[in-house]
Structure 1
Amino acid sequence: MLAFLLALVLSAVTSTVARPQSYAVWAADSAIARGQGNGLDANGKAIVSYEHGELQWGLQQLYDLTGNKSYFSYIQKGIDNIVFPNGTVHGSYNVADFVLDPLRTGPTFLYLYEKTGGVKYKVAADIFRGQLNSHPRTAQGQFWHKLKYPNQGWLDGIYMGEIFYAQYTQIFEPNNLTAWSDVTSQYTLMFQNTIQNATAPNNTGLMYHGYDFSHKASWASPDRGHSPEVWDRALGWYSMALVDMLAIMPASNAGHSSILKILQTLFPKIVAAADPTTGAWWLVITQPGRAKNYFESSGTSMFVYSLLKAVRLGYIADADGSIVAAAKKAFEYITANWVVSNADMTMGWLNTVVVGSLDTTGDFNYYVSQPTDLNDLKGLAAFLLASIEYEKL
């Protein structure tokens, strides 16, 4: 670990004149050099973005490892672009929209409050926490992903909302058993309503992108209302949410064992779903090798992060080393195929699908028709996280 930290620090110091030895530092410095994840959109207007929150989560870890204050400054600058001095959250955020995605920046509010004591960050966090008090739910209690998608729960939403929910509870309401139970319920309801069963076509034992509890969506299955396919990034969001939650929720809480059981059920199946030749994961995991399907970089990076962190923290046993071996194989494919060295020494990032939604058909043809993007932050931030875990090996 000491050698790892030293390498990161040295890499950070020299990153302006040479490619860093650390992929984590290289990814972070490249995103910063391009002004990504700074609380502003392409036109320089404030925006509350889950992608920015994802990058900030990685920068927090990198700052804590290296002590490089430029990472902390960038995090703070990004949040100051969306939080007024009085704590009001602006930049496209409207609580009345009832969307879970913006809440992904909430963990950064909490991080800055703990680091600086700045009252405005606490006020901003209170605003987000207040949204959860009135956020619409299914009859079972699952948060709707968005107000405009009634009764729909998406795997994405667990990563967007529950990490913030749990961190807020841990910091300000650690004895609020109702809140901890609610957090746990979000995970278990999503799992129960989207897990593939033994009779499912193309059964992987993994989780569909989402479900409609009202069964009104055109894609909703007759049994539980789930969507037709397992999409890699949705499952990636949920996987990262599992390992991150277990590091937040007290082990003494009954919910911890419930979430741990889900992780231990899913992660061996995630490993089994990797392509045996490349080690990467298909965009549509339920249709491996089908024409137009491809290996996708954001989901693959999310799985590497989740698997390695789960093993490192002891959430899943890896006596024979097969889980770490699978993650290493995937990481090596990532760096060989999707990492590009640019002339200005920044890192280019390839093959992240721009979007995946359940607002249309949610079928195979929908997912494979979506474009991929260069330097897409959803994938680059996931690679930063994966690199941190890989380099800890």
Structure 2
Amino acid sequence: MKNYLLLAASMCLMVSCGSGQKVSQPEKYSQRMVESHGLVDFYCNRHHQTELDSASWDYVSGLVANAVLKAWTLYPEKTEYYDAVKAFADNSTTPDGSVILNAKGESALRPSNIDDLPAGNVFFTLYKEELKKGNTKDANRYKNAASLIRNKLKYDHSRIPEGLPGAGGFFHKAVYPNQMWLDGLYMGSTIYAQWQHVFGQDDAEDNAQSWADIALQFKTINKYTYDEGKQLNYHAWSATPEDENSFWANQEEPFKGCSKEFWARGMGWYFAALADVLEYMPKDHADYPDVLAIFNQVAAGLKRWQDPVSGVWYQLLQYDAQTAADGKGDTINGKVYNVGTEANYLEASASGIFTYAYLKGIRLGLLDREIYLPVAEKAYQGLLKTFIREREDGKLDVVQTCASAGLGPAKDPSRTGTVNYYLAGKDVTVVENEGKAVGTFILASVEYEQLVK
């Protein structure tokens, strides 16, 4: 109770105190960001989107749509939020939900590309809401679309084969054979878990097996990427580090197959995936304790690396701003890439998604409130101070976001996974109003406002 009151006071929540006094209502930053850059004017990997309702299918537009829908769930009077997400979903599916569409009107689900899946997280709330309204046609549309994605992942997505370490783990993409990335746990497992929760109850045996499959993904990547000394997970791991597409991987122990650095947003996707899956995972499932333990392990590690001054996190988690690209770049097959001297920096999207996962974990009782509430409170205030800028017209901007980052494949040797790459790579530029920061800030704000509503 003491912590609840402390948080309420620090947030200036509108509550009645024992003396009859009240404190002022907190700023609803979730709504302000939705209306500044959620419904309109955001970027998907540097591709500008003018409006959410007409944005094409993509994990970034899907993240923004899901965040806007979460804001509507908290503030249902904001019907324009729901309408925009419904339009996004309708624009991206055939009327019967049998095909997910890209901007060209073709299937948006490429073979074994896990990034194509998570935008489907919006279908479950839309399904329930339209069913409640008696709109069974659209409800079935969303159910069919969600089932299409879940079944494609469960039955058709490429996995690490038997005989290799990590057998059963989902490839991140077909172009990254036998590779698992932290990002992929969010891209695949969250929609898989929601489907099991909403639609998987009728077949008890399949449901139990599916939850074991979801848990396997976390247990596998944690086994191979977790550095106990640093309390962090490396960005990615390859079961076949000798493959040309895994040129970035350590070829020898320790951490054979792992990439070289701890990338903040990769850890963020992983942390959020754990929070989102545990929200739905049956507590009596045999793998639940293992997944919960991994979630708490991640929470402890990120607490250690939270910047003590700002309360947020750096692009490369184990360093501060004194670390920079070395000016020499990385030499791959005789060519030099990633030349620059850019310094490590506090990064918005990772800090937002860390804050979201901490707050959600506290709300769901998955994390110790005494330990992590101060971390989450400091982080949220750090988001506002470090990354949020108010324009003269009252709209908000979010700054200091890594546009994108990845590893390989062989045809892209610049993506080396080194310090030089994450700070000076050609695709790792620092941008504003990127959907990955817009969406994560909205999610964090919804949790912040929900925790004491």
Q: TM-score scaled by structure 2? A: 0.77
Task: Structure 1: give runs of 5+ residues left out of the alignment.
Answer: 8-19, 199-203
Q: Residue 138 of structure 1 contacts residue 213 of structure 1 at CA under 8 Å; is this kept in 2? A: yes
Q: Which has the higher helix share?
A: 1
Aligned residue for 1:173? Answer: 200
Q: Residue 229 of structure 1 contacts residue 284 of structure 1 at CA under 8 Å; is this kept in 2? A: yes
| In structure 2, C-alpha distance between the alignment counterparts of 1:94 and 1:381, rounded to whole Å | 21
Deviation readout 1:64-116 (Å, 9 max, x if unpaired): 21112111111101111111213221116444432111211111122212221
Amino acid at match of 2:152: Q
1:58 partner SS: helix
1:56 partner SS: helix
2:389 partner SS: strand
| Pairs within 5 Å for 1:281-292 | 281-288=313-320, 289-291=322-324, 292=343
**Is residue 379 from structure 1 mapped to residue 437 from structure 2 by the alignment?**
yes
| In structure 1, C-alpha distance between the alignment counterparts of 2:146 and 2:444, rounded to whole Å | 27
1:52/1:23 CA distance change after superposition, 3 Å:
same
Greater Cα offset, 301-310 or 182-191: 301-310
**Is residue 293 from structure 1 mapped to residue 344 from structure 2 by the alignment?**
yes
| In structure 2, C-alpha distance between the alignment counterparts of 1:265 and 1:185, rounded to whole Å | 17
Following TM superposition, where does structure 1 have runs of at least 4 consecutive aligned residues deviating by more than 3 angstroms?
Answer: 35-38, 40-46, 92-96
What count of residue pairs does the alignment treat as equivalent?
371
Amino acid at match of 1:368: L
Deviation readout 1:202-236 (Å, 9 max, x if unpaired): xx211011111111211212233010000000000
Q: Residue 72 of structure 2 contacts residue 81 of structure 2 at CA under 8 Å; is this kept in 1? A: yes
Aligned residue for 1:218? Answer: 247
Q: Residue 37 of structure 1 contacts residue 78 of structure 1 at CA under 8 Å; is this kept in 2? A: no
**Is residue 163 from structure 1 mapped to residue 190 from structure 2 by the alignment?**
yes
Aligned residue for 1:388? Answer: 446
**Is residue 131 from structure 1 mapped to residue 163 from structure 2 by the alignment?**
no
Aligned residue for 2:61? Answer: 52
Instruction: Give the C-alpha shift of residue 274 in structure 1.
Output: 0.9
Q: State, as a whole percentage, how many aligned pairs show the same letter.
A: 30
Task: Structure 2: give runs of 5+ residues left out of the alignment.
Answer: 15-25, 132-137, 162-166, 325-342, 409-414
Instruction: Give the C-alpha shift of residue 46 in structure 1.
Output: 5.7
**Is residue 108 from structure 1 mapped to residue 122 from structure 2 by the alignment?**
yes
| In structure 1, C-alpha distance between the alignment counterparts of 2:344 and 2:39, rounded to whole Å | 32
Aligned residue for 2:71? Answer: 62
Q: Residue 156 of structure 1 contacts residue 238 of structure 1 at CA under 8 Å; is this kept in 2? A: yes
Instruction: Give the C-alpha shift of residue 54 in structure 1.
Output: 1.5
Aligned residue for 2:402? Answer: 353
Aligned residue for 1:27? Answer: 33
1:54 partner SS: helix
Aligned residue for 2:332? Answer: none
Amino acid at match of 1:30: S
Q: Residue 109 of structure 2 contacts residue 116 of structure 2 at CA under 8 Å; is this kept in 1? A: no
1:294/1:46 CA distance change after superposition, 3 Å:
closer
2:237 partner SS: strand
Tell which structure's C-alpha radius of gyration is larger.
2
Aligned residue for 1:141? Answer: 168
Greater Cα offset, 206-215 or 286-295: 286-295
Q: Residue 109 of structure 2 contacts residue 117 of structure 2 at CA under 8 Å; is this kept in 1? A: no
1:134/1:41 CA distance change after superposition, 3 Å:
farther
Aligned equivalent of 1:278, options 310, 325, 329: 310
Greater Cα offset, 336-345 or 264-273: 336-345
Aligned residue for 1:13? Answer: none
Instruction: Give the C-alpha shift of residue 318 in structure 1.
Output: 3.2
Q: Residue 402 of structure 2 contacts residue 429 of structure 2 at CA under 8 Å; is this kept in 1? A: yes
Aligned equivalent of 1:194, options 215, 225, 230: 225
1:339/1:163 CA distance change after superposition, 3 Å:
same
1:387/1:42 CA distance change after superposition, 3 Å:
closer
| In structure 2, C-alpha distance between the alignment counterparts of 1:290 and 1:381, rounded to whole Å | 28
Deviation readout 1:127-181 (Å, 9 max, x if unpaired): 2123111100113111000001111101111101101001111222222211111
Amino acid at match of 1:344: D
Deviation readout 1:265-297 (Å, 9 max, x if unpaired): 221111111112222211011333313111101
Aligned residue for 1:305? Answer: 356
| In structure 2, C-alpha distance between the alignment counterparts of 1:94 and 1:367, rounded to whole Å | 28
1:130/1:80 CA distance change after superposition, 3 Å:
same
1:32/1:95 CA distance change after superposition, 3 Å:
closer
The Cα RMSD (Å) is: 2.3
Amino acid at match of 2:386: N
Q: Residue 57 of structure 2 contacts residue 108 of structure 2 at CA under 8 Å; is this kept in 1? A: no
| In structure 2, C-alpha distance between the alignment counterparts of 1:187 and 1:25, rounded to whole Å | 33
Instruction: Give the C-alpha shift of residue 197 in structure 1.
Output: 3.8
Q: TM-score scaled by structure 1? A: 0.88
Instruction: Give the C-alpha shift of residue 300 in structure 1.
Output: 0.8
Q: Residue 37 of structure 1 contacts residue 53 of structure 1 at CA under 8 Å; is this kept in 2? A: no
